Structure 1
Amino acid sequence: MQPPPNLPPQPPQFFWGDTPEDEYYKSEGVRNSKSYYQTPNGKIFTQSWLPLDQNQPVKAAVFMTHGYTSDSSWVFQRICIAYAKWGYAVFAADLVGHGRSDGLHGYIGDMDKAAATSLSYFLSVRRSEEYSTLPAFLFGESMGGLITMLMYFQSDPDTWSGLIFSSPLLIIPEPMIPSKLHLTLYGLLFGLADTWAVMPAPRMAPPPKDMQKPNLKGMNPRRYAGKPRVGTMREVARVTDYVQKNFEKVKVPFLVAHGTSDLMACLSGSEMLYEKASTMEDKELKLYEGMGHSLISGESDEVSDRVLADMKAWIDDKVEKYGPKCSDD
């Protein structure tokens, strides 16, 4: 019997293809582990990526948070693997309501709690004997950058050596701002509508130049593909407003990477953070002319390699500069 015509291509088992995980990670010079972490707010899925050579000294620990609809197990791994190849210990957790973590898929009804949930895992690693004396950085991409900012605000002083952001959602683009009318009307239902996937879908950015990457992103079997949920959009609006009013609380070194043609997260948010943060030195805003939202997984390899090279140069410099100081904490 002949297969039906015009079937969509079979998605790969992993973002890199069908090569077994252990074999792929070994070829990249890293080792990966997976586990679940129990928090007061539910169980979350976590991963780590470390240099393959267990005798290789680790430079620092980096704790990474993915964006909306994504998870830590698909193309977001490109960033995690890159940092591990550079000699860093990398840890990531699927946000509540995302990937393999507990919660209704695509729903974050309390972003402060979502940040605290991932942070509880990150701190358990950061405070462990193995990593307590090393420099430690928070990394956030897109909405994960917004949640990373909350994690920083929720942490004790001197917990983190620096912050790294890739296209952080700190100001919502005009076409994506949730309707106050919709939020008010659904709010009148006393929370019954909070989980409903009924908010208008945001206008999507034009496809990146490398057409293989957006196709690959859409193949993520754990990606949330429904309309935005009421509570999630309410929280994005609330928390972006909150962090904009508190940028001056940022006192550690930070790097922000942002494309000038990003339609999913306003460049002005990154510029405002750079201008208003209390960080006196070692803050950097790297702009990529004509590039869109997904700098690592949505642009050409040439662009993503340039962004990663800039990230490597920044974090290597900070570890060399502040590592001994951090080890005395």
Structure 2
Amino acid sequence: MYKRSEGFFKGYQDINLFFQIWENPNAKGTIIFTHGHGEHSESYHRLTSAFENDSWSFYGWDLRGHGKSDGRRGYASEFDDYCRDYKIFLDMVLQDEKVRKGPVILLCHSMGALIELKTLMRNPDLKFDGIVVSSPLLGLAITVPAIKSRAASILHKLLPQVTLGNELDNSMLSSDVDVLREYEQDSLRHTRMSPGVFLGMLESWNYVRPRANEIKKPALFQLPEHDPVCSTPDAKSFYEKMGSKRKEIYIYPNAKHEIYNDVMRNTAFADLKKFLDSFLESK
């Protein structure tokens, strides 16, 4: 049984950001996870529940403008604000004596993966043991209307705090009807994105993709075969170019974007467990 707690920490420019902990009294290691665009840390209760009787504690946080964190929904002045917040959160968690006693795995999903990968490349001295990447935002599978792409640059200069709807609907995220019902009733979810985030996302691809070989820690990639949101081919290409001596990839044929909340999640959890257990066995 977890001992669950929550709180706030000061992110970049002193914004209040929410975090929560699922502490396992018998934990031998720690998983720090970063959610994707439009969702929040509570969206991972199925993941944490799947490992409640295992050997891991979980730390999750809400991006600025997401979940219970402060900020206009979907707004950041620039994409790198997320990376700065993430670095602050990592530094805080990694200072915890209980966390330092065992392996630390950084788990990320969708836009959270782009945030994580960029942050790790910029901070090569961060202490952790491996990464788990779910449906990473390393390219888009959906088509952004040309007028919206052109408007982003103009709006970023004239109305930087405006947020525009993305092109997603819940049916792209999961095939589980209970999950979809939960999403429809979740007032903390949103579909907004500021021009600064959108433009920064494009710039971040140009930064991250050519540097895949800089990621050298053990890595697990979990991808839908045909992700309706993020580009699976771009994710595979990044994976193949990574510098990790140990890396594993699982492709799920009928999965939607949010693997851990889809109908095949137990298969994904079993694959994840095998990867995680290897860190405990090596200690």
Task: From the superposition, tell whether residues 66 and 85 of structure 1 become closer, same or farther in structure 2 (CA, over 3 Å).
Answer: farther
Instruction: Return the alpha-carbon distance in structure 2 between the equivalents of residues 311 and 87 of structure 1.
Output: 13
Q: 1:245 aligned to 2:217?
A: no
The whole-number CA distance in structure 2 between the counterparts of 1:62 and 1:117 is 18
- Other structure's SS at 2:41 match: coil
Q: What stretches of structure 1 of length at least 5 have no aligned partner?
A: 1-28, 324-329
User: Is the contact between residue 214 and residue 243 of structure 2 (CA under 8 Å) also seen in structure 1?
Assistant: yes
Aligned partners of 1:85, 1:285: CA distance in 2, in Å? 25
Please name the residue that 1:64 is paired with. Answer: 33
Q: 1:292 aligns with which of 252, 256, 273?
A: 256
- 8 Å Cα contact 1:79/1:296 also seen in 2: yes
Give per-residue Cα distances to partners, 1:20-60, cap 9 Å, x unaligned.
xxxxxxxxx22210101123431110100012xx3x2x221
Q: What is residue 32 of structure 1 aligned with on the other side?
A: 4
Q: How does 1:103-252 map to 2 (within 5 A)?
A: 103-157=71-125, 159-176=127-144, 179=146, 182-188=148-154, 191-198=157-164, 201-202=167-168, 206=172, 208-226=174-192, 228-252=193-217
Distance in 2 (CA, whole Å) between partners of 1:153 and 1:186 is 27
Secondary structure at the aligned position of 1:272 is classed as: helix
Deviation per CA, 1:277-319, whole angstroms, max 9, x where unpaired?
1112x2011001121111121x22xx11110011011011133
Report how far residue 205 of structure 1 moved: 5.1
Residues 189 and 63 (structure 1), Cα distance of their counterparts in 2 relative to 1, 3 Å cut: closer
Taking only aligned residues, the RMSD between alpha carbons, in angstroms, comes to: 2.2
Deviations 1:87-134 (A, max 9, x none): 212111100111111221111332222122122122212122222232
Whether the 8 Å CA contact 2:142–2:228 is kept in 1: the answer is no
- Give the Cα–Cα distance (whole angstroms) in 1 for the partners of residues 200 and 170 of structure 2: 20
Do the aligned residues in 2 keep the contact of 1:270 with 1:285 (CA within 8 Å)? no
Equivalent-residue separation in structure 2 for 1:230 and 1:40 (angstroms): 19
2:250 and 2:270 map into 1 onto residues whose CA distance is 12
Q: Give the C-alpha shift of residue 84 in structure 1.
A: 4.4
Q: Deviations along 1:129-175, whole A, 9 cap, x unmatched?
A: 22223211111011111111123223343611111011111111251
* Identical counterparts, % of pairs: 22
Question: 2: distance between equivalents of 1:156 and 1:98?
Answer: 27
Deviations 1:169-189 (CA, angstroms, capped at 9, x unpaired):
11112514x64x544445346
Ranked by relative contact order (alpha carbons within 8 Å, sequence separation 6 or more), the top structure is 2
Measured after TM superposition, the shift of residue 244 of structure 1 is 1.0
2:17 paired residue among 30, 44, 49: 44
Residue pair 1:171, 1:240 contacting (<8 A) in 2 also: yes
Going by fraction, where is helix more abundant, 1 or 2?
2
Q: 1:271 aligns with which of 236, 249, 263?
A: 236
Q: Which has the larger radius of gyration?
A: 1
- Given the superposition, is the C-alpha separation of residues 119 and 207 from structure 1 closer, same or farther in structure 2, using an over 3 Å criterion? closer
Query: 1:25: which partner in 2?
Result: none
